[in-house]
Structure 1
């Protein structure tokens, strides 16, 4: 299933399991869905199984959202106690659409506990109390963390079976473009690793004392990571500089953001230190995973990083936010860097890297080696200092279950392909209205002169974005003022354009003319409007948002 096909399914309000291989665009698809919901006046509840994943998506852990905390089991009395907490009851009662990221790391027991609390709060005896639920993740990646010996995936729970989820299995690949490497990853995923795959990986083995010093190293254990980062920084001459994280909001929410943020609370750097960016730049100067070294300090004392491709980037603090019901409840700000000498495989999940050194000699979990290897874009970027048999294994139960997921996705693809567009539009309209949102059917009110009327029938979200853009503000300032992501603002503009309420003059100032011309030239030579090929053809110099705005300008 393509991202576009998955979005069609998501917009009908079905309960969905969105899955696919690493790099297949799960996060992008969910971001697009979230932007569409918000443009329609529907605020989703965004959660994740881990703190790191929650920070990536601007949400909170499912454990905190539901109030279950670290409990491994709940009695009826426990469920009643949690459901009676005012802030939990208010949060769950107001929720409409619940998104759960990294579902592979959530145990069946935890999944059922959250279900029990939702049913109790909402007084509806259906899965999650009747919420629209979207589960996102890949069960081939890291499994649930459990103190008990027995492992149970969320799909093994009674709640999962009762859901009757539609499965959307994304099959496109946006991270890796190396066919030989993709073949190795596919072999690991399908449990068919053979001698030729071992040979491909063996060709990437290096001695520990010959690995590139400024390249990130992935380990299975925290102890190795801490030791290497401290030792490598100590080797550098010169005085270190420290940058302390600043915070806003409730302490418990701030602590959750701190735990999930890949940049440390106290960042210690020296000139020459190998670093990695931990966040995507709104101006596309860097992405989460861009590598470089501290080249010096700016006039403001902030680090200046020289990237692997020779660019010099002056850094500044960026924010990680927790949003609820469209409002920023807490935030932390830090330089979006971390030492790049070493990190755990666990913390690398969800990242894309140009290259990495990996010691998988102590891999102990199914999927650990698969996650590490699939972070890197090409086989030439893999440097192996150790590899054990477990590193190339995926969970046998998941291997079997994956066949069911693929078949279910194919059935869903066929079913929607055969539906008349009018029927799909009706389903989507009913969903939006049931959630209390605003539906646009493409009809445009016009003045006697034939111009679209401004603000007629627009929900507050779109009207506010349109006014802010017409005031001549930059994309970044509009997003900051609205407390929304830059991509959400662009989605608002696309929605406004689709209903005839956006003129080219309204937004053309958002992209510099020279950038507009360069992107337009690449768009003109492209065979389709898929964003990833355009982004890569431009060498990653411009953001996806700039490309989307240029495409929008072309079509006006």
Structure 2
């Protein structure tokens, strides 16, 4: 166990009781620490589950209500007041809404993850599948192992800060059924080409032109026409595939990384009966983010399709629906020792000439309701740098203030920068770290596939005030993949139900109360701690009856019962929030041709102070800060800046106009695309 005894008094001097006001004075600014080593992410736990199963382990330090900055640390004592008037949060990419699955936990300790999950046999204990929001009732059991050193209550000063309002996006009921979406004429034309004329189509457009809306609508209608088994939903990367509820093209096709000649791939696949059935049963192949696929691979797959299906029509008679943006990141060069060929764009492939009937450019922009931003992105997209463009981007280096205290997501060109930023921000937060270990229903050899296919991590490490991003769609709660929130405290499901009985509204006082209550969970000797008594006595007398009752419930809670993060999500710019206890969710990955798929059960959260530009491709980010210092390839600047929804919520640092460039082959290809009138 970490820390002192359960009463939290070991090695502590006797403290004089302070007044309430002493806890609400302004705190000093906290400088970001030197980036520590990345949080331990060993992907395995003990294969043998011990008597005390747990989902997360805790190391408690100090502090009640400190916050974090992003590139620069902000005023720590203004965070509560800043939880007012957030900008609207939306995300255009939405995957399917999935219910929680049974979850089993295993023991762990802070900074250490051991052994490995015993897959399959541990998927037995269940959690409630009802939504755990502040207006709902939940049930469930679990386990937790923790140590509880005392934490002093720190000051809280409520200040208001200047607000920059983002422009709202007008979407066509994105969170509702696809049938209710109102499509534009050019979007409907794409649908008609695919559904009525059964043409093989490539469609593209700049960020915000509704490529995702078309794709989701097509998937739903194709499922209705041919059944799910006949529609292959794929993407070039695991993250893009997870967003649309599919798998990678490499995995679906069974070719792996695609090394070898087409004939060699055919011989290999002919022996795999399940994979052979996948190819022969497919009527429509959908490929998202096709721009990142090597054209040589598509040529090989076209040969494989004709041979395996015994059909000499283009691509073996399979209808193709391709989408993506070639001005974004290019195909990744893979070393092929047998052929030594360089990666090429897929529109340069022989397959493209024979298999793709229509290539369509979408022109109407939805995502950015900011004409100047749209013009700026289009110029960057084509690599057209003008003095006016340079001046506009350099103006965007100004700081942007957010009244609700949720900092913008940072984008970096390299993974090392991302890991350093997230680790620095997490370490700068005081208090305990909670480590949540996923339960993977997958053979050991497929664990790496889960890691590459899902944005959700094997181990999620959180603290109070950690900034998080939602990785699921929950339209009933107005939460979507990409929604931003902040962890308020950690409690059990049972204590959340008790909290609802005493507190009908989550306000600043409730947050302070519940942070005290959380320290008493499973710790019957907590009242002997002078620090705890001091913090308790600092609360207003009128709040003590309910607070003491909550503490008694917390003390009686079993130390094996798991705690989960209680998150405040920002919904829009009309002072609206959603509070929810975040429980584990199912993240499935389908295996084509297999009777059962892979699955990860984990909190649908990730730290979102920083992401790589590569990971951000295809995402819509409401608040964005981009560092362009280490840009190294064509398209990176465009990918990074096109994640934004408005200039008002976009900050650009270390801009160098020489780094903006577009591939000349791509520019020529786009000049010849069909524009629908």
When normalised by structure 1's length, the TM-score is: 0.69
Is residue 191–residue 399 contact of structure 1 (8 Å, CA) maintained in 2?
A: no
Match for residue 473 of structure 1? none
* 1:162 is the counterpart of 2:354: yes
1:252, distance to aligned residue in structure 2 (A)? 5.6
Following superposition, the deviation at residue 311 of structure 1 comes to: 1.3
User: In structure 1, what is the equivalent of residue 187 of structure 2?
Assistant: 3
Counterpart for residue 385 of structure 1: 653
Write the mapping of 1:302-321 to structure 2, written as runs, cut at 5 A.
302-308=564-570, 311-314=577-580, 315-321=582-588
User: 2: distance between equivalents of 1:400 and 1:231?
Assistant: 43
Asked if the contact 1:363–1:390 (Cα under 8 Å) also holds between the matched residues in 2, the reply is no
Residue 216 of structure 1 pairs with residue 409 of structure 2:
yes
Q: CA deviation at 1:123?
A: 1.3
Q: Distance in 1 between matches of 2:659 and 2:636?
A: 6
Give yes or no for the alignment of 1:15 onto 2:196. no
- Structure 1 match to 2:440: 247
Q: Is the 8 A contact 1:355 1:382 kept in 2?
A: yes
Structure 2 residue 457 is the aligned partner of structure 1 residue 271: no
- Flag the 1:259–1:77 CA change in 2: closer, same or farther, 3 A: closer
| Alpha carbons 2:293, 2:346 under 8 Å: kept | yes
- Superposed counterparts of 1:88-237, under 5 Å: 88-147=275-334, 150-206=342-398, 214-237=407-430
Equivalence map 1:420-439=2 (5 Å): none
Distance 1:168 1:316, change over 3 A: farther
- Alpha-carbon shift at residue 297 of structure 1 (Å): 2.3
**Structure 1 segment 229-378 matched on structure 2, within 5 A:** 229-248=422-441, 255-300=448-493, 301-308=563-570, 311-314=577-580, 315-323=582-590, 329-378=597-646
Q: Which entry has the higher C-alpha Rg, 1 or 2?
A: 2
- Measure, in 1, the Cα distance between the counterparts of 2:397 and 2:407: 17
Q: CA RMSD in A?
A: 2.5
Tell me the alpha carbon deviations over residues 1-29 of structure 1, each in whole angstroms, 9 at most, x when there is no partner.
62222111121221111211111111211
How much does 1:106 deviate? 0.3
Distance 1:24 1:76, change over 3 A: same
Does the aligned pair in 2 maintain the 1:83–1:117 contact within 8 Å? no
- 1:25 and 2:210 matched: yes
Structure 2 CA distance for partners of 1:162 and 1:338, relative to 1, 3 Å: same
SS state of the match for residue 441, structure 2? strand
Paired with 1:361 and 1:396, the residues of 2 have a C-alpha distance of 23
Alignment of 1:378-527 (within 5 A): 378-389=646-657, 391-405=659-673, 408-410=674-676
Deviation at 1:312, TM superposition (A): 3.6
- The answer to whether structure 1 residue 42 and structure 2 residue 227 are counterparts is yes
How far residue 109 of structure 1 moved from its aligned partner, in angstroms, is 1.0
Secondary structure, aligned partner of 2:423: helix
For structure 1, which runs of at least 5 residues remain unmatched after alignment? 414-556
For 2:595 and 2:254, the matched residues in 1 are separated by 20
Distance 1:33 1:254 in 2: 31
Partner of 1:295, secondary structure, is: strand
Match of 1:422 in 2: none
> Offset at 1:390?
5.4
Output one character per residue of 1:40-86: Cα deviation in whole Å (capped at 9) or x when no partner. 34321111111111111111111111121123442523431223221
Which string of whole-angstrom CA distances, capped at 9 and with x for unpartnered residues, describes residues 385-410 of structure 1? 212335422212111110111xx343
Change in CA separation of 1:147 and 1:38 when aligned onto 2, cut-off 3 Å:
closer
1:269 is displaced (CA, Å) by: 0.2
Per mean C-alpha deviation after superposition, the further-off stretch among 385-394 and 171-180 is 385-394
CA distance in 2 between partners of 1:133 and 1:237 (Å): 52
SS of equivalent to 1:40: helix
Could you say what secondary structure the match of 1:263 adopts? coil
Where 1:321 maps in the other structure, the secondary structure is: strand
Q: Would the aligned equivalents of 1:280 and 1:286 in 2 still touch at CA under 8 Å?
A: yes
Q: Are 1:81 and 2:271 an aligned pair?
A: no
1:284, 1:371 → 2: CA distance?
29
SS in 2 for 1:58: coil
State how far apart, in whole Å, the 1-side matches of 2:589 and 2:221 are. 19
- 8 Å Cα contact 2:380-2:638 kept in structure 1: yes
Give 1:510's aligned residue.
none
Q: How far apart, in 2, do the equivalents of 1:77 and 1:175 lie?
A: 44
**CA distance in 2 between partners of 1:21 and 1:116 (Å):** 31
Distance 1:206 1:127, change over 3 A: same
Deviation at 1:376, TM superposition (A): 0.7
Quote the residue 1:69 is aligned against. Answer: 256
Change (3 A) 1:252 1:33: farther
Asked if structure 1 preserves the Cα contact closer than 8 Å seen for 2:624 and 2:651, the reply is yes
Q: Does the CA contact (< 8 Å) of 2:390 and 2:657 recur in 1?
A: no
Contact 1:356 1:376 (C-alpha < 8 Å) held by counterparts: yes
Deviations along 1:406-426, whole A, 9 cap, x unmatched? Answer: xx343xx6xxxxxxxxxxxxx
Indicate how the Cα distance of structure 1 residues 261 and 75 shifts in structure 2: closer, same or farther if over 3 A, else same.
closer
Change (3 A) 1:184 1:337: same
Q: More deviation in 27-36 or 189-198?
A: 189-198
Higher relative contact order (CA 8 A, sep 6+): 2
Alpha carbons of 1:345 and 1:176: their partners in 2 closer, same or farther (altered >3 Å)?
same
Q: Find the aligned partners of 1:204 and 1:7 in 2 and give their Cα distance.
A: 38
